[in-house]
Amino acid sequence: MIQFILSDFIRIYEVFIGFYAVSYIFFYMGLSILSFIAIKAYSNTKYNIKDDILIKSNHVVGVSIVAPAFNEGANIVFNVQSLLSLNYPKFEVVIINDGSTDNTLEQLIEEFELVKVDFYYQEKIKTKPVKGHYRSTNPVYSKLLVVDKVNGKSKADASNAGVNSAQYPLFLCTDVDCILRKDTIVKLAKPFMESKTRVIATGAAIRASNSCEVSEGFLDKIHYPKNWLARFQELEYIRAFLLGRMAWSRINSLLLVSGGLGLFDKEIAIKAGGYWHKSLGEDMELITRMRKVMYEQNEDFIIKYIPESLCFTEVPATINVLVRQRSRWGRGLIQTLSLHKDVFFNKKYGRMSYLIFPHFLLFEFMVPILEALGILVLLLSIFFLDVDYNNLILISVFVYFFYLSVTLFSILWDEILYNHYASVKEVAILILMAFIEPFVYHPINIYATLKGYYLFALSKEQKWGDMQRQGFVKVAKPKLTKA
């Protein structure tokens, strides 16, 4: 009897998974095609707008770079120098020292000749108390503003204090350890100036900087990471940014502008209440609320994604840190979906209600659960029922090669567009990583995400991500010696 019940259950599961997998495959193939169209359309316009016109104009829209820092003493000076050197005629850099327990603030004060100023601060978004604002006495650093505040246990709280202190109508949110390409602001601000419809946010691709050559906060040469975990993440980033987000951007359905790099309309972000300090996926949550504000205002809007790697960041290099990061992302996803459950199939929220949220629920949230369930079903079948091994092998091989095709396509696309890698060897390693990713890296991800769901269910308190920085490959400067 048990066998018959089990058999029925597995039969139903089979049918469900069959439909699910087919729709998943077709959905992602559709996204790949959309992505291809979007990237092509972007690259076609390169003779249309020359950046130098924007760089020397006085009429561009102002941008405040908001970068929270928590115990970043090791690299803070170089990182701020790097941010200050970006090419844009009207911008400021707002660094938020979120109650660091190391010498982050002291280093900033010393290096940039800062003094405490009488900054008139208004808390448009509620945050932990701000202790003071610092400005440089040296005109060279006139674009720098440092906000010192009480630790709020979240990047969101620190970012909000930065947004409250920002003077320009757009704010670029990044992590202080991110290395931005010099033309980052130009690229991200352009859509705000060229679109007839109001643009409320823009984002761009992020890459792993783990083995890149960096000198004093500036990127000298891009290399494929040497660390195995970082290599997998590089691969994952390429695929997600080039094939996923570009497609969503094409149909104006982007829900995720990375916390590492995103340019936002300050007015709408403040109306939406800023970053939610209890959020674990604050970037996605903010976009959700900004979208809601626009739908409620009944105003057309665009969220755009740029298919260029503008930001380089150090990605987790140990399993523990990776699991912690992915677990936080998992919790962030489930938290956002449950917090905004009113969006589902509520026609007031347009495509967010019938396309974006259902996608995140069905394909982003459900996949780790179904994968775990799949393994369970497989084990039950092996022990209690007759498994059709031929079928199992065929479908597994099919799924594997489908995955490989999609991944390699994104690598090729990346190579043709940007030629990032230094040699055939680096490309070959990337291909090799693609082959072994499903067996080595993917299970870690699934475990971490499920752990995140579990922790969400237990309502565990969240903390600022404490990632041990490995440091960049530093380029030694040639010394001049007397002959």
Partner 1 sequence: MKTGIFRQKLYYGACLLFFFSVACAYSFSPELKNALMRLETSDSISGITYKVQVGSFKFPIEQFVFLREQIGDNFVLTHGIYQSYQEALKAKDSLQAAGFKDAWIPMYLHENRSDLSEIAGYLSGLEHPLHLEEIVYSDENSLLITNEKAGAILSSSFFLGEGDSYLKKLFFMQGEQPYYSYFLYAIIIFLGTTLSLITTLITHRNTVRAANAKRKIIQRKINGFLSDLILHEDLSEQLLDQKLTDFRTKIPIKNDWCKELMIKNIIDLKKNFKGEMSSLFISIYLKMDLLSYSKNLIKNKVWYEKTRGIFHFEELGYYEGLPLITPFISSRNKSLKSVALIAHISLKKEAPLEIFSDYDGHIDKIDELKILDTIKKKKIKIPDNIQDWLKSSNPSLVLLTIKMISYFNHLEAADALLELLDSPNEAIRRDVIIAIRQLYLLQAESKLIESFPQENIDNQIEIIKSLATIGSYATEEFLEQLVELTDIREVKIETMKALKEMNSLLFHSTFNHNIDLQLVKLHVEDPYIL
Residues in contact with partner 1 by CB under 8 A are 3, 7, 11, 44-45, 47-49, 53-54, 56-57, 59-61, 115, 117-120, 122, 124, 135-137, 142, 167, 169, 190, 193-196, 383-386, 388, 390-391, 394-395, 397-398, 401-402, 404-405, 408-409, 411-412, 415-416, 419, 421, 423-424, 427-428, 431
Closest residue by Cα to residue 232 from 16, 434, 370: 434
Nearer to partner 1, 134 or 275 (CB): 134
Give CA–CA dist 302/263, Å, rounded.
12
Closest residue by Cα to residue 104 from 147, 135, 60, 155: 147
Give CA–CA dist 222/179, Å, rounded.
12
Q: From the CB of 121, what's the least distance to partner 1, in Å?
A: 8
Q: From the CB of 276, what's the least distance to partner 1, in Å?
A: 22
Q: From the CB of 53, what's the least distance to partner 1, in Å?
A: 5
Nearer to partner 1, 120 or 439 (CB): 120
Q: From the CB of 115, what's the least distance to partner 1, in Å?
A: 6
Q: From the CB of 216, what's the least distance to partner 1, in Å?
A: 25
Nearer to partner 1, 112 or 237 (CB): 112
Nearer to partner 1, 60 or 334 (CB): 60
Give CA–CA dist 42/50, Å, rounded.
14
Q: Which amino acid is at 82?
A: S
Nearer to partner 1, 164 or 249 (CB): 164
CA atoms within 13 A on the CB side of 256: 22
Q: From the CB of 177, what's the least distance to partner 1, in Å?
A: 27
Task: For 67, list phi and psi in degrees, rounded to 5.
Answer: -135, 105
Element (H, E) at 116: strand 114-117
* β-strand pairing of 114-117 with 130-136: antiparallel
Nearer to partner 1, 424 or 458 (CB): 424
Q: From the CB of 169, what's the least distance to partner 1, in Å?
A: 8
- From residue 298, alpha-carbon distances to 30, 208, 263, 349, 354 in Å are 29, 39, 22, 10, 17
Give CA–CA dist 399/442, Å, rounded.
14
Give CA–CA dist 30/183, Å, rounded.
31
Nearer to partner 1, 405 or 468 (CB): 405
Q: From the CB of 83, what's the least distance to partner 1, in Å?
A: 17
Nearer to partner 1, 22 or 319 (CB): 22
Q: From the CB of 206, what's the least distance to partner 1, in Å?
A: 22
Closest residue by Cα to residue 235 from 72, 96, 410: 410
Strand order across the 130-136 sheet: 114-117, 130-136, 144-149, 91-98, 63-69, 170-174, 261-265, 198-208, 301-313, 179-180
Nearer to partner 1, 165 or 249 (CB): 165
Token pair for 1:
């009897």
Q: From the CB of 82, what's the least distance to partner 1, in Å?
A: 21
Q: From the CB of 401, what's the least distance to partner 1, in Å?
A: 4
Nearer to partner 1, 194 or 296 (CB): 194
Give CA–CA dist 247/240, Å, rounded.
10
* β-strand pairing of 261-265 with 170-174: antiparallel
CA atoms within 13 A on the CB side of 24: 19
Nearer to partner 1, 403 or 441 (CB): 403
Task: For 131, list phi and psi in degrees, rounded to 5.
Answer: -85, -30
Q: From the CB of 201, what's the least distance to partner 1, in Å?
A: 17
Give CA–CA dist 402/438, Å, rounded.
12
Task: For 122, list phi and psi in degrees, rounded to 5.
Answer: -120, 130
Nearer to partner 1, 55 or 473 (CB): 55
